[in-house]
Amino acid sequence: MEERLASGSRFGVRQVKEWGEVLTDFETRNRYEILADDGTPIGLAAEEGGGIGRFLMRSFLRAARPTTLHLLDSEGRQLGRGDKKFRLYFYAMEVEWGGKKIGAIERRFSLLHRKFTVSDSYGREVVTIHSPLLKIWTFELRRDDRKIGAIRKQWGGMLKEAFTQADTFGVEFEDPGLDPELKQLLLVATFLIDFTCFEKGG
C-alpha cells in the first residue's frame, strides 16, 4: 500500500458495515477497505475493538469517543495508526506511521462550513480541509491558499445508501508527487471526517 500511496493520485475508502449495525442501529467497530484508483484493494483500516466498555463508548459517546484506528496493508501488516482522544467537540487524531509520529488532524471552529487542520510532526499547520457551504459532501484540501486535492463522500444510490448506511469516499491529489507523509496524513483525515461528520451524532 505504501508504494501505491506514494505514487498514486486517487484512492477510495469504503466502509464495511456489519449486519448487526444495519439491523439494530448500534454503532459497531468501524472497518474500511482502502482501494487504488482501479478499485483494487490495497489496504485495510479497522477501529480497535474488544470489551463491553468500547462497545458502550461507540454506542453512546458516538463521535466524542476515544478510539484507535489501525492501518494495515493487504497482507495484514500494520503500517500506521490514528489515536483519537475523548473530546466533546473539536475532535483530533494523532497519526503514527512506521512507528513514528508524523502529525495530527483536528477539527476547528467554523460558522459556515466544516473545517479541519492538518499539522506535521512538529505541530506546524500544513494543510486546511473545509467543506464549501453548498457542497457538504466535498472537503477541499488547501495548502498556502492553493487547492491540492479533495476528499469527497460518494453515494452508491439512494436505496443502497439507505439500506447499508455505508460510507464511501474518494481521495484525490492534484499532484501525484505530493510528499508521502502528507498523503498518509490526508488518508487518515478521511477516517476522522467520517467519524465526526457522517456517523450518527457526529
Question: Model confidence over 14-46: pLDDT tens digits?
Answer: 988 754 443 334 444 788 999 998 889 999 999
Model confidence at 51, in pLDDT bands (50, 70, 90)?
low
Number of domains in the chain: 1
At 138, list the grid cell: 466535498
Provide the CATH number for the domain around residue 190.
2.40.160.200
Can you tell me the mean pLDDT for 179-195? 95
**Domain interval for residue 191:** 2-198
The Cα–Cα gap between 124 and 83 comes to 18
CB 191 within 8 A of CB 13: yes
**How much is the pTM?**
0.85
The Cα–Cα gap between 39 and 60 comes to 34
Poorest-confidence range of 50-54, 90-94, 145-149?
A: 50-54
Model confidence at 55, in pLDDT bands (50, 70, 90)?
low
CB 168 within 8 A of CB 32: no
9 compared with 166, residue with greater pLDDT: 9
The string of DSSP letters for 104-151 reads EEEEE--SSS-EEEEEETTS-EEEEEE--TT-TTEEEEEETTEEEEEE
